[in-house]
Structure formats: C-alpha cells, structure tokens
Amino acid sequence: MLDKLERLPADSILGLAAACRADPNPSRVDLTIGIYMDEQGLCPVFDAVRQAQQALVAEEVTKAYMPPAGDEAFIQGMQRLVLGDGSSALRDKRVGGVQAPGGCGALRIGAEIVRAAAPDARVWVSDPTWPVHFPLLGSVGLTFETYRYYDPSSHGVDFDAMVEDLKQAVSGDVVLLHGCCHNPCGADLSLQQWGVIAGMAQQQGFTPFIDFAYQGLGDGLEQDAAGLRLVVERVPEVIIAASCSKNMGLYRERTGIALFVCRDEANAQALVSQALVAARRIYSMPPAHGALLAGRILRSETLEASWRGELEAMCQRINGLRSGLRQKLEDRSGRDFGFIQREKGMFSFLGLSPEQALRLRREYSVYMLDSSRINVAGVNARNIDYLATAVAAVL
Ligand SMILES: Cc1ncc(COP(=O)(O)O)c(C=O)c1O
C-alpha cells in the first residue's frame, strides 16, 4: 500500500535555507526563512522567556494534559495583548479564545470554524499572500478568491484595486487580512485604509479573518494592532489567528491562539465549543510549554516589561537595518530603494527578477527567494556592504 507514494519535493524556502547552510563560501548571506536573527545571525531566546522557563521547570509538578482550550493566563494575556485593554468586545465578553499549536494551528482552527458556519465560504486572499495559507485553509475544503494588493511598480499597496476586488466579497465570504508586517511584501494598510475595509465588511457582510503573526515587529505592539482593533470595534464578527513565534521567539514551542470576536457572549462560547471539537479531530490537545511561558510573561509585570523592552529593541534594529540597507543600495546602484524603509516587519521584495535572484545565489552566495523576498533581519553589520554590492552588481 505505502510503496505507491512518491517522494515529494522539499519545502522550497526550507530547501533554500539548507542550501545556504551547505554553501562553503564564508561570505554567504541567508535572507530566506522568516525568523528573526540578531547581529550574530542567531535567533535568540528572550530573557523573559528564559526566566519564565526557569521558574516553570522549578515549579511544574505535572505533565497532565492542558485544559482543552489552553492555559487561562495565556488566553487572558493574549486577548489583552491583541485587542488592547480598552477593547469593548472584551468588556462585553464577546471574545472566545482557544490556544493552538502556533499561528498555523490557529489559522487552521479558524478555517474549521468558517467551514462549519458556511461550507461554501470563499476565502479572499491578497495577491501575493503567505503560500502556507492555501494548504492551511484549503485542506478544510474552503475555496479561494484573490484580491489585488501589492503593486510591484510602486512597491506599495494598490488600495484602489484591493477595494475594487473586495466589492465582490459578500456575506458568507471571509477576507483574510495580514494584521501587520505583510508576508511576503512588507506593505501594510494605513489606519485610514483599515477603516475603509472595516466599512466594507459592515456594509457587505463579509467576515474579516486577520492573520496576526508579527505584532510588535513593525512599529511596536500597540501601533501594529491599531488596524486590527479598529476592525474589531466596528465589525461584529472577526476571526483572529495570533502567534507568539516571532514576537516572543517561541517558534519551536508552537504557541498561538485563535480568537473569535462574536455578536454576544453566548455565541463566543458556542464558537469555543466548536473550536474544541475541531481541535479534537486534528491534534486533540494543545502543546503546553510555550503557552505556559507566554502566560507567565503576560501575567507578570516585571517579565512583561522585560519582554516588551527586548521586543522594542528588535523592532528598532529591524527598522535600523531597513534604513541602512536602503542607503547602501541607493549609494551603490543610484536607484530609489526608499520602499525598503517604508515597508514594515521582516520582509520586503527587492524587486529583482528570478534570474537576478538566481545570479545572486550562484555568483555571490546571497540567498533570497526567487521572488526576491528578503528577510531583513538576516542583514547585519558584517554582511550589509557585501549584500548591497552584490545586489547592485546584478541590477
Ligand atoms: C503570515 C504568517 N502567518 C502565520 C504564521 C504562523 O507561524 P507559526 O505557526 O510558526 O506561529 C507565519 C509564520 O511564518 C506567517 O508568516
């Protein structure tokens, strides 16, 4: 039976990262995979995570299953972090939260809820979007429509085109939005544009589904949540998939949450019950470790302050790299790279052709995706000059 199955190609991003690691060129630059890297090229453990972990290891007395919905401190803390202290939805208890294995798990649980509520729902995704959205939501049986989003010529959001396309989204459809730090393009909506999308959701009745994997890595925790919070204030039903992979560095601990903003408390509770049954079908119980750490951080004033400080430094470093890279690319190429500084989070398209990306890989050991998406956090003081020179050479 099993020997009929063929070997599938490796994930292209992970494959590129592996090729970079195997490249003997000491000047190699890895801008592929979406993890934060510090000046030493390491993905660091936050101090607050280290401290929470020490306390957890010292105090943990059982490895019994978590409650199915997850750790209460984590759920409360994440609701506050994502929706804000002043959230009227939280005050009215119209939010249900279910801990999930990473942002991916939360996206999948959200998709299960959509499918249960509206089996024929179409999911509107931005062009481009994170490729993993397709298997995560599509495997539940949902179908996709695309709305125009990124304009390669302006390196910004083509908002008129986005609005025109989303005019076709109707009640029973879902519009998937990147809460901040759009992956792969780094071009985000302005607050005013979020307001327009919220108005369309109100008028047309579609349900916003917000993928929130990078809170704190664009402009800061509160600023990055402003668009999402505006939507939640105006639209009665919103699904959110939030992740602690990037902003707490808990990637491998698979720590995320699916939030359901509903019309009332009873509906929020109904959705949690539905989400638990969906989780039972897929993985049964959520993983504990990462959520217990995040819960400890979010319920301790000192740990939270330490974490916020470190995250802010990360965010400032990324933005510093953005302006440094812009400057160096402009100096060497004489072209305008101002978009790198305007874009947010870890990713930007450099605007190169797949052939140019390939040349960078072959001739300079500079690894980026064929689309020329780079992970800005892979840039550092040691490689920035080499990178800028190499990019200018293939332009
Ligand atoms: C756009 C987007 N959504 C969600 C995720 C979820 O990540 P995780 O499942 O590791 O929390 C990622 C991770 O790269 C992402 O880029």
pLDDT digits (tens, 9 = 90+) for 283-335: 999 999 999 999 999 999 999 999 999 999 999 999 999 999 999 999 999 99
Write the residue with the smallest CA distance to atom 16 of ligand 1.
Answer: 183
Q: Is 211 a catalytic residue?
A: yes
| Tens-digit pLDDT profile for residues 210-252 | 999 999 999 999 999 999 999 999 999 999 999 999 999 999 9
Q: Which atom of ligand 1 is nearest to the CA of 34?
A: 14
Give the list of residues 6+ apart from residue 2 with CB closer than 8 angstroms, or none. none
Mean pLDDT of 174-184: 98
Is 110 near ligand 1, meaning CB less than 6 Å away?
no
Bridge-based pairing of strands 122-127 and 143-148 is parallel
Q: Among residues 246, 279, 294, 390, which one is catalytic? A: 246
Q: How far is CA 6 from the centre of its chain?
A: 32
Write the residue with the smallest CA distance to atom 13 of ligand 1.
Answer: 213
For the sheet containing 143-148, what is the strand order? Answer: 95-100, 256-261, 238-243, 207-212, 174-178, 122-127, 143-148
Write the residue with the smallest CA distance to atom 2 of ligand 1.
Answer: 213
Say whether pLDDT at 10 is over 90.
no
Specify the 3-state DSSP secondary structure of 119: coil
Band (pLDDT 50/70/90 cuts) for residue 11 is confident
* Centre of ligand 1 from the C-alpha of residue 334, in Å: 35
Please state, in angstroms and rounded to a whole number, the distance separating the CA atoms of residues 126 and 109.
20
| Tens-digit pLDDT profile for residues 62-79 | 999 999 999 999 999 999
Write the residue with the smallest CA distance to atom 15 of ligand 1.
Answer: 213
> The dihedral of CA 365, 370, 371, 373: what is its sign?
negative
* Centre of ligand 1 from the C-alpha of residue 176, in Å: 14
Specify the 3-state DSSP secondary structure of 11: coil
Q: Which of 132, 137, 250 has most ligand 1 atoms within 8 Å of CB, for mutation?
A: 132
Q: Are 261 and 241 in contact (CB under 8 A)?
A: no
Is 251 near ligand 1, meaning CB less than 6 Å away?
yes
Q: Is 213 a catalytic residue?
A: yes
* Centre of ligand 1 from the C-alpha of residue 244, in Å: 9
Tokens of 237: 């039903």
Tokens of 142: 């949902």
Cα–Cα distances in Å, from 197 out to 169, 208, 235? 11, 9, 10
Q: Are 179 and 228 in contact (CB under 8 A)?
A: yes
Q: Which of 36, 104, 180, 185 has most ligand 1 atoms within 8 Å of CB, for mutation?
A: 104
Helices (H), the chain: 12-22, 47-59, 72-83, 88-91, 102-117, 133-138, 159-166, 191-204, 221-234, 265-282, 289-299, 301-333, 338-342, 354-364, 384-394
Q: Which atom of ligand 1 is nearest to the CA of 106?
A: 9
Please state, in angstroms and rounded to a whole number, the distance separating the CA atoms of residues 102 and 90.
22
| Tens-digit pLDDT profile for residues 80-106 | 999 999 999 999 999 999 999 999 999
Q: Are 373 and 347 in contact (CB under 8 A)?
A: yes
What pLDDT is stored for residue 188 in this prediction? 98
Closest CA to 98 of 359, 291, 343, 294: 291
Q: Among residues 211, 241, 294, 390, which one is catalytic? A: 211
Specify the 3-state DSSP secondary structure of 148: strand
How is 49-98 classified by DSSP, letter by letter? HHHHHHHHHHH----PPPPTT--HHHHHHHHHHHH-TT-HHHHTT-EEEE
Band (pLDDT 50/70/90 cuts) for residue 360 is very high
Q: Is 246 a catalytic residue?
A: yes
* Centre of ligand 1 from the C-alpha of residue 98, in Å: 17
Is 183 near ligand 1, meaning CB less than 6 Å away?
yes
Taking each helix axis as running N to C, give the angle between helix 47-59 and helix 301-333, from 0 to 180 degrees, rounded to the nearest 10. Answer: 150
Q: Which of 11, 126, 183 has most ligand 1 atoms within 8 Å of CB, for mutation?
A: 183
* Centre of ligand 1 from the C-alpha of residue 44, in Å: 18
Is 227 near ligand 1, meaning CB less than 6 Å away?
no
**pTM value > 0.95:** yes
- Taking the alpha carbons at both ends of the chain, their separation in whole angstroms is 51
Say whether pLDDT at 144 is over 90.
yes
Q: Is 124 a catalytic residue?
A: no
From 38-42, 90-94, 176-180, 254-258, the region with the lowest mean pLDDT: 38-42
